[in-house]
Amino acid sequence: MLFVLVPVADLGLARDWETVFAQPYAVADVVDKVGPAVVFIKAEFQAVAQRRSPFMDPMWFFPFPQPGPRESAGTGFIISEDGYILTNQHIFDPPERLEKIYVSVLGHEEPYEAELVGYDYDLDLAVLKINAEGDLPVAELGNSDEVRVGEWVVAIGNPYEYDHTVTVGVLSATGRRIAIQDTERGQMKVYENLMQTDAAINPGNSGGPLLNLKGEVIGINTAVRAAAQGIGFAIPINVAKEVVDDLIQKGKVVRPWIGIGYLPVDDAVREYFGLPASTKGIAIVDVYPDSAASKAGLRVGDVVIEVNRKPIEDAEQFREAIKGLKPGDTLFFIVLREGRERLVKIVVGEMPRS
């Protein structure tokens, strides 16, 4: 049998392989660089008879430990020298029962009491603030849009409160969608566009960094598949970068909100609302109280056929027409109501916090 040795470069393999084999301390270098910016978080809650995790779907587990009915724990990483920390929201859920947050920083003997500056349930992101003397070490944020499936990744966290545990794997996939039953709120919680990794993630890793071999944060470790091995998920760091200023400055993610439920006009909708067979557009099937739509006078049964002079024939055209809106923007709808066209002016509102 003949064996032919081919240089790694000739195979077109990822540069990360060359880095690992040529530099056996590559991962250790990443840990030395980023480890000091990774923090241990413990949250204390008001005493309740029983505090269950809101994520109790047997197929999924959001990895934060629950040592008692009053505590949860996780990981975070410092993003500014003056003490802002990025982490997961679910560590502090439910926020109305939250009493105190403590953050432990490497090289500092006593934990700091932290403030929950801002959080977003839908994205599972939160920002904390601690006040420490001097400049704190900062984790460098990378670009999750540039990651490659198969590249090496490093996770640093506090699984089961084992401080600064390091695990290594690869980026298994991108663009994953998962849904978990939120029993406390009685609804499904859906996550879009997550990164999948086989780097070991366990209870306590929540909110910790997923790193590339440059020592850049490319994701925020969030969830694992409970019944599997080596299937963990992270929020792409670019998602966090888009909203972190809102979380710091306004305490929440500011989202535009019109306040309607709608369906594309098809035969069933035409029959239900008694519309002519030629009618196209989107039919309003719900108007939320105190929303921009309600204040503008939109009604259930109105059919939107034009938005800002753009004809609307289906739901995709409607979504495209309202894409990129900001609170305070003005929209002009032409709607069909009782067989007549009407012009409706709408000032876009702000979506309430989930």
Q: Which amino acids are annotated catalytic?
A: 90, 124, 206
Tell me the one-letter amino acid at 89.
Q
How many residues would you count in the chain?
354
- Assess contact for 189 and 182: CB atoms under 8 A: yes
Which residues neighbour 261 within 8 Å (Cβ) at sequence distance 6 or greater? 284, 285, 286, 287, 288
Rounded CA separation 70/48 (Å): 7
Torsion-angle region of residue 237: left (phi > 0), alpha (psi -120 to 50) or beta? alpha
- Backbone CA torsion sign across 22, 28, 30, 32: negative
- CA 257 vs CA 248, 252, 326, 352: distances in Å: 21, 14, 8, 8
- Assess contact for 162 and 204: CB atoms under 8 A: yes
- Assess contact for 120 and 252: CB atoms under 8 A: yes
